[in-house]
A and B are shown apart, each in its own frame.
Chain A
Amino acid sequence: MANSAKTIMKGALALLFFFSLFMNCYATESYPGEIYIDILANHYQAVVFDHDLHVMVSEGCATCHHHTTGMPVINTYCASCHSADESAATVSCQGCHSKEPVTAGSMQQERAAFVFHDDKPDLKGAYHLSCLGCHQQMGAPTGCQDCHARTEAGDRFFNSGMFAPAH
């Protein structure tokens, strides 16, 4: 009886060990498995971003999250200040990348607050530059509608589908 309890304990420990191996650092943090992105909901249907999948295939949180997760920073530009950062209070994309379009004027304001963060893309730019840039390198899908299917308004906008030129 005592033996079987021990084996169960051992098994559970082993399971926990393997589980933590797969999850490596992520086990300590909670993060959303799926993220619903609808900033372009006018012309496109919302994107359901499979965060779990990308956690598995990426080289680490810092690939997308820069210096905010406490993981070793990859980008050398970020690393010059943030090489030994703890995890930050905000890690979500929209926590730092504004929904408002970036202009030279908004960059001037940003420069006053964080001089090295001035050329930070807006949210739409950050998503596409990060996602599409990596998808191109990794051979993942790169077509517009591979990630977000178009709405009827989108088809009208692109003169496509049922709004395609007649000739």
Chain B
Amino acid sequence: MCNISRRKFLAGSVAGGAAIAMAPAKKAFGANLSGFPDGLGVLVDMTRCVGCRSCEAACNKEQNLPEPDKAFDDYTVFDERPHGQHRRPTEKAYTVVNRYDQADGEKVYRKIQCNHCNEPACLTSCFVNAYKKTPEGAVTYNDKVCVGCRNCMVACPFNIPAFSYSSAFNPIIKKCIFCYDTRLKNGQAPACVEICPQQVMLFGKRQELIKIAHDRMRRNPGKYVETLYGDKEVGGTGWLYLSHVPFKEAGFNVSLPNEPIINNVKDFLAIVPMVLAIWPALFTGFHLLSTKGKSHGHADNHRHDGQEGHE
């Protein structure tokens, strides 16, 4: 009687454990977050950018960044190729403008900064929870807890987080925070948006910006490529881009999935705590059952053999 109920219990627990581990994982944990409904963003219209670098200067002043290597009206920076690539944000510049020369000789300019993802890969990769996605839409970080592990630099699909290599004792991550502390939390547009002479950037609710972007495409047939970059990429980004040249030609990564980066490992990570909770109990149960009544004898024999071996 006792044995049968134990067997039933074990069979039940194995079946239940398997069911929990396999079936509902996708539904329960794979659901996509579409960001905060009132999250703010910026629509970048690359057809308007003339590469004046005012946004870089504004960012430098707003964020109290160190003096730049070259003046902000020095346009030779567009010819720089650090490490053989176009410029990317650094600890001294949270945004950079790059020039992409087209095959037909046209010059296309693109501003690069944190895209403020709906589901940021940097945030999920950070083991000290330094990152935060605020309801306003900014991806901010707490530099007091950052340990400088640089996981987020690897995780970011846009190569945005920069590292303070210049600091010998407390190197940490540095990146655009959407002017959260000084502007965004008060509902104000970031400094780069405000300074732009060409009104390249439009600040507002992300959901509203997506509608405006599609209005622009519809009202100006043939002007834009019919894609809004950032609408779907890696689960959607707060900063969205309209372009008149294919995005690949302006240095965008066009091979990104529509799923957030975390979805690659979400199912697996959801199982980990379950495995940790269920498996010890389960296998302890197996062990106790299979060794019931024999364990002492075995242990004695082993000990005895071991002692003999020593002598």
Q: Considering the chains assembled together, what is the distance between the CA atoms of A101 and B198 in angstroms?
A: 12
Q: Considering the chains assembled together, what is the distance between the CA atoms of A165 and B220 in angstroms?
A: 43
> With contacts A125-B197, A132-B50, A157-B57 known, is A144 near B189, CB below 8 A?
no
Chain A, residue nearest B202 (CB): A104
Contact of B67 among A102, A108, A159 (CB under 8 A): A159
* B197-234 interface (Cβ within 8 A of A): 197-199, 202-205, 208-209, 212, 215-216, 219-220
Check if B48 is an interface residue, CB within 8 A of chain A: yes
Q: Considering the chains assembled together, what is the distance between the CA atoms of A101 and B192 in angstroms?
A: 12
Q: What is the minimal beta-carbon distance from B128 to any residue of chain A, in angstroms?
A: 34
Q: Considering the chains assembled together, what is the distance between the CA atoms of A105 and B187 in angstroms?
A: 11
Check if B73 is an interface residue, CB within 8 A of chain A: yes
Chain A, residue nearest B208 (CB): A104
Q: What is the minimal beta-carbon distance from B300 to any residue of chain A, in angstroms?
A: 79
Query: Are B71 and A104 in contact, CB atoms less than 8 angstroms apart?
Result: no
> With contacts A104-B204, A107-B204, A165-B68 known, is A125 near B198, CB below 8 A?
yes
Check if B10 is an interface residue, CB within 8 A of chain A: no
Check if A6 is an interface residue, CB within 8 A of chain B: no
Q: Considering the chains assembled together, what is the distance between the CA atoms of A77 and B216 in angstroms?
A: 11
Q: Considering the chains assembled together, what is the distance between the CA atoms of A137 and B61 in angstroms?
A: 33
Check if B69 is an interface residue, CB within 8 A of chain A: yes
Contact of A129 among B43, B48, B54 (CB under 8 A): B48
Q: Considering the chains assembled together, what is the distance between the CA atoms of A129 and B43 in angstroms?
A: 17
Query: Are A158 and B71 in contact, CB atoms less than 8 angstroms apart?
Result: yes
Q: Considering the chains assembled together, what is the distance between the CA atoms of A101 and B50 in angstroms?
A: 19
Q: How large is the interface on A (under 10, 10 to 19, 20 to 34, 35 or more residues)?
A: 20 to 34
Chain B, residue nearest A121 (CB): B199
Q: Which residues of chain A are within 8 angstroms of B310 by Cβ–Cβ distance? A: none
Contact of A144 among B52, B202, B208 (CB under 8 A): B52
Check if B70 is an interface residue, CB within 8 A of chain A: yes
Chain B, residue nearest A126 (CB): B199
Q: Which residues of chain B are within 8 angstroms of A104 by Cβ–Cβ distance? A: 43, 202-205, 208-209, 212
Q: Which residues of chain B are within 8 angstroms of A158 by Cβ–Cβ distance? A: 53-54, 57, 71-73
Check if A119 is an interface residue, CB within 8 A of chain B: yes
B→A interface (CB under 8 Å): 43, 48, 50, 52-54, 57-58, 60-61, 67-74, 189, 193-194, 196-199, 202-205, 208-209, 212, 215-216, 219-220
A-B contact pairs, 22 of them (CB 8 A): A77-B219, A101-B193, A103-B189, A104-B202, A104-B203, A104-B212, A105-B204, A119-B219, A121-B199, A122-B199, A124-B199, A125-B199, A129-B48, A129-B198, A136-B50, A144-B73, A158-B57, A158-B72, A159-B67, A160-B73, A164-B71, A165-B67
A→B interface (CB under 8 Å): 40, 77, 101-105, 107-108, 118-119, 121-122, 124-125, 128-129, 132, 136, 142, 144, 157-160, 163-165, 167
